[in-house]
């Protein structure tokens, strides 16, 4: 009886090893908007099984900007060519510990949710958060939401999905929202807490979805040092 059990255990162990031998390693690449930098590798016995897999990377992983280590980007595998798996952008969010550090007493943190249709047809759900200098009334919060909704929809009409993502990362979106909100109440901080792609848009016929990789130095450039230092100083207060 013991010998039979031992033999079955060896057979099961051999099957596990054989399954791993059958797998190949595939390289995962970011979309064209991030210049198709390599995100990592993943094993799979069949290339078809990779379709739909998701992976995460921080902005620091992509362009080396330490001030953006708290910004996480999410990608999903959409196409496999040989041993290269190509992804599409599906969302962004901030690290939870970074959000906690922004919260202070005697201030109002307001969460916003805005659905934006981009110029190239993507439906993007953007969730900004605003932190005011002091506590504000409910009517002022409503006014802030209205102003943000209008400005975000304007940006969607002006920009493609790649331009919207770049605006989130380099701070353009935050600056534009801050400018329209300051007429209502002084705003201490605005952050894009989370972004989700609800519907994929269309790609022009003359523009391939997965183009050859471009030089790494052309990846999204980090913000100027002055801005990064100001953000760090405010967080440490």
pLDDT in tens, 125-135: 999 999 888 88
pLDDT band at 18 (very low <50, low <70, confident <90, very high): low
The dihedrals phi and psi of 121, each to the nearest 5 degrees, come to 95, 0
The CATH number of 95-201+221-228 is which of 3.40.50.2300, 3.30.479.30, 3.40.50.150, 3.40.1130.10?
3.30.479.30
Q: What is the phi/psi pair of residue 51, to 5°? A: -60, 125
DSSP 3-state of 45: coil
Coil, strand or helix at 93? strand
Residues 6+ apart with CB under 8 A from 200: 88, 121, 122
Q: Read off the pLDDT of residues 59-95 as tens digits, 9 standing for 90 and up.
A: 999 988 889 999 999 999 999 999 999 999 999 999 9
According to the model, what pLDDT value does residue 41 have? 93
The 8-class DSSP code of residue 214 comes to P
Q: What would the pLDDT profile of 194-234 be if each residue is shown by its tens digit?
A: 999 999 987 654 444 444 434 334 445 544 444 444 434 44
Helix (H) or strand (E) holding 150: helix 138-158
Question: What pLDDT does residue 74 have?
Answer: 96
Q: How far is it, in rounded angstroms, from Cα 184 to Cα 64?
A: 36
User: Measured between alpha carbons, how far is 128 from 111 in angstroms, rounded to an integer?
Assistant: 6
Q: Measure Cα distances from 184 to 137, 140, 144, 178, 181 in Å.
A: 11, 7, 7, 10, 6
How long is the chain? 237
DSSP assigned state of 62 = H
pLDDT on residue 10: 57
pLDDT of residue 3: 52
What is the value of pTM for the model shown? Answer: 0.77
């Amino acid at each position: 009886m013991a010998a039979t059990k031992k033999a079955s255990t060896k057979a099961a162990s051999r099957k596990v090893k054989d399954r791993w031998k059958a797998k190949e390693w595939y390289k995962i690449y970011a979309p064209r908007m991030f210049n198709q930098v390599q995100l990592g590798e993943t094993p799979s016995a069949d290339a078809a099984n990779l379709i739909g897999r998701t992976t995460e990377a921080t902005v620091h992983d992509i362009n080396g900007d330490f001030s953006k280590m708290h910004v996480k980007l999410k990608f999903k595998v959409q196409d496999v060519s040989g041993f290269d798996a190509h992804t599409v952008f599906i969302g962004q969010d901030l690290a939870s510990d970074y959000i906690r550090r922004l919260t202070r007493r005697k201030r109002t943190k307001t969460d916003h949710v805005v659905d934006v249709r981009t110029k190239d047809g993507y439906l993007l759900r953007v969730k900004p958060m605003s932190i005011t200098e002091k506590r504000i009334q409910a009517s002022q919060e409503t006014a802030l939401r209205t102003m943000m909704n209008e400005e975000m929809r304007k940006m969607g009409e002006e920009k493609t999905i790649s331009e919207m993502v770049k605006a989130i990362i380099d701070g353009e979106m935050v600056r534009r929202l801050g400018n329209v909100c300051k007429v209502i109440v002084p705003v201490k901080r605005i952050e894009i807490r989370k972004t989700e792609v609800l519907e994929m848009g269309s790609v022009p016929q003359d523009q391939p979805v997965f183009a050859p990789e471009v030089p790494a130095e052309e990846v999204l450039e980090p913000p100027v040092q002055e801005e990064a230092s100001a953000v760090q100083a405010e967080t440490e207060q």
